[in-house]
């Protein structure tokens, strides 16, 4: 079958796990001989040729056509006064956004030009780009032949809805994270409304974990029968044997991810203090950026462990591999993690992991130590045990590598194809 898929980013130009998941799914679907038309706001020219890529910036539309005017009236445009980064926490969203509703008559004429150059980033015009992306999606759906539509997360849901309305083809809404994951209970109403509209307009909804499905059913009012759990996987299940050597004699414990509310960095810092009190010959690393970074730096200083705690900033490419390679323990203390691919990547580097029970990956990775994100005593005990008892560490390494072989994207794609087929069979 032919799938019209809408995403917001694609490797190698990504800002988080969404792009990586899209890559894995497309690669898995290609393994099963599925044809994918993959649309992104901006192509950079160095994407791996796994699909029929469409650069939304190259699409010409006639917005004055009656159908496009109808779509625009139903879209929301959010003016943003400052630069936006992906995966905003509640503090950043409140600080950086200035929301105001417009209809199509008082939006800048540039939005309606025949072509629109998308930035491909999460900049000051993010919501304008989301809205314009939906208009482009309608044009693509009008011009292309396909069987089913697949939209990834809220940024692409308006595009998926527009494509469905103009083509009549069924829509799959793929939820990789919800606004409740990003912001707790302090949700941004505009984003929540877009998410909810996408899920209810969809013929079927995909959730990356049972944890996410529960939120979709409880918080968005979607019937459980309409939601299928499709866990993420790893791009390569083989174990990486790195020759990279660490430059310090101490053991290294690593947190690698966005330094935001969702990821629970403060619990990692507090657990680090408890471990260092028991064994000062341990170094802790926090790799990443986010709105809580400065607060974490201040807290580390308050706890007087600056010489044992390191902030690397955002890492990518080989630097990520090197970080995993020199780590003796990897910790993911997320408050709410829809899935969480990073622990699987750590296992690939033969690094034992500690993950919060409040994560989707905990549903598929059995051979990891699982703790409640808020239980810093248990987290500290688990870190100490993995650092000091070789038998425990070796056991998790060996069993974890065996588990990886079951977590392949082609297995995920096979399940996804069945969802496509069932959805198509139910369409009148």
Please check whether residue 202 is in contact with residue 152, taking contact to mean a CB–CB distance below 8 angstroms. Answer: no
Burial string for 242-272 (b: 16+ CB within 10 Å, else e) reads eeeeeeeeebbbbbbbbbbbbbbbbbbbbbb
Which residues contact residue 33 at a Cβ distance below 8 angstroms, ignoring those fewer than 6 apart?
Answer: none
Mode of pairing for the β-strands spanning 2-6 and 148-152: parallel
**CB distance 158 to 198 below 8 Å:** yes
Using alpha carbons, list the distances in angstroms from residue 338 to 160, 177, 341, 367.
21, 6, 10, 19
User: pTM for this structure?
Assistant: 0.83
Q: Alpha helices of 168-256 — where are they, by DSSP H?
A: 179-183, 189-201, 210-220
Q: Tens-digit pLDDT profile for the chain (428 aa)? A: 999 999 988 888 777 678 889 999 999 999 999 999 999 988 888 888 889 999 888 888 765 566 666 655 555 433 322 233 344 444 444 443 333 333 333 334 444 456 677 766 666 667 778 888 888 898 899 889 999 999 999 999 999 999 999 999 999 999 999 999 888 878 888 889 999 999 999 999 999 999 999 999 999 999 999 999 999 998 876 777 777 888 889 999 999 998 998 899 999 999 999 999 999 999 999 999 988 999 999 999 999 999 999 999 988 878 998 999 999 999 999 998 999 888 998 998 889 999 999 999 999 998 899 999 999 999 999 999 999 998 888 888 888 778 888 888 999 999 999 999 999 998 76
Superfamily covering domain 251-404: Glycogen Phosphorylase B; (3.40.50.2000)
For the chain, give every domain's residue range.
2-233+409-426, 251-404
Give dist(CA 103, CA 381) in Å, integer: 56
Compute the distance between CA of residue 284 and CA of residue 2 in angstroms, rounded to an integer: 47
Written as six digits, the tokens of 368 are: 């990891």
What pLDDT digit, counting tens, does each position of 260-300 carry? 988 999 999 999 999 999 999 999 999 999 889 999 999 99
Cβ atoms of 137 and 162 within 8 Å: the answer is yes
Topology at the third CATH level for domain 2-233+409-426: Rossmann fold (3.40.50)
Q: Cis peptide before 12, with omega less than 30 degrees from 0?
A: yes
Task: From 213, 209, 210, 215, select the one nearest 192 (Cα to Cα).
Answer: 215
Indicate the pairing of strand 309-313 with strand 282-287: parallel
Residue 87 in tokens: 């995966």
102-136: per-residue pLDDT in tens? 333 333 444 445 667 776 666 666 777 888 888 88
- For 215-345, strand residue ranges (E) read 227-229, 251-256, 282-287, 309-313, 329-332
List the 2-6 sheet strands across, edge first: 52-55, 35-40, 2-6, 148-152, 171-175, 204-207, 227-229
């Amino acid at each position: 079958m032919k799938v019209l898929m809408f995403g917001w980013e694609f490797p190698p130009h990504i800002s988080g796990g969404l792009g990586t998941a899209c890559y894995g799914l497309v690669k898995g679907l290609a393994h099963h001989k599925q044809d994918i038309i993959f649309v992104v706001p901006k192509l950079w020219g160095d994407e791996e040729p796994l699909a029929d890529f469409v650069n939304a910036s190259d699409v010409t539309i006639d917005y004055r056509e009656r159908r496009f005017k109808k779509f625009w009236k139903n879209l929301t445009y959010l003016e943003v006064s400052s630069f936006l980064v992906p995966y905003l926490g509640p503090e950043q969203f409140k600080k950086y956004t200035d929301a105001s509703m417009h209809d199509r008559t008082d939006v800048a004429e540039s939005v309606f030009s025949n072509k629109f150059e998308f930035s491909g980033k999460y900049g000051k015009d993010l919501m304008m780009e989301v809205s314009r992306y939906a208009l482009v999606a309608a044009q693509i759906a009008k011009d292309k032949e396909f069987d089913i539509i697949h939209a990834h997360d809220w940024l692409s849901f308006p595009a998926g809805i527009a494509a469905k309305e103009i083509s009549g083809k069924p829509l799959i809404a793929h939820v990789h994270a919800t606004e409740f994951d990003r912001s707790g209970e302090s949700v941004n109403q505009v984003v929540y409304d877009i998410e909810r509209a996408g899920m209810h307009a969809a013929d079927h909804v995909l959730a990356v974990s049972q944890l996410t499905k529960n939120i979709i059913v409880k918080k968005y009012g979607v019937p459980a029968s309409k939601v299928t759990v499709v866990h993420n996987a790893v791009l390569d299940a083989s174990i990486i044997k790195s020759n990279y050597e660490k430059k310090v004699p101490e053991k290294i414990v690593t947190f690698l991810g966005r330094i935001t509310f969702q990821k629970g960095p403060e619990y990692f810092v507090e657990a680090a203090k408890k471990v260092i009190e028991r064994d000062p010959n341990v170094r802790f690393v926090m790799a990443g950026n986010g709105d809580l970074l400065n607060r974490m730096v201040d807290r580390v200083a308050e706890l007087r462990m600056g010489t044992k705690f390191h902030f690397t900033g955002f890492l990518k490419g080989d630097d990520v591999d090197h970080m995993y390679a020199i780590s003796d323990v990897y910790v993911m203390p997320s408050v709410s993690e829809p899935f969480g691919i990073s622990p699987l990547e750590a296992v690939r580097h033969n690094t034992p992991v500690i993950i919060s029970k409040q994560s989707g990956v905990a549903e598929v990775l059995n051979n990891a130590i699982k703790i409640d994100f808020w239980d810093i005593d248990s987290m500290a005990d688990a870190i100490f045990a993995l650092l000091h008892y070789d038998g425990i560490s070796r056991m998790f390494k060996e069993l974890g590598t065996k588990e990886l072989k079951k977590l392949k994207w082609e297995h995920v794609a096979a399940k996804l194809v069945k969802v496509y087929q069932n959805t198509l069979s139910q369409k009148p």
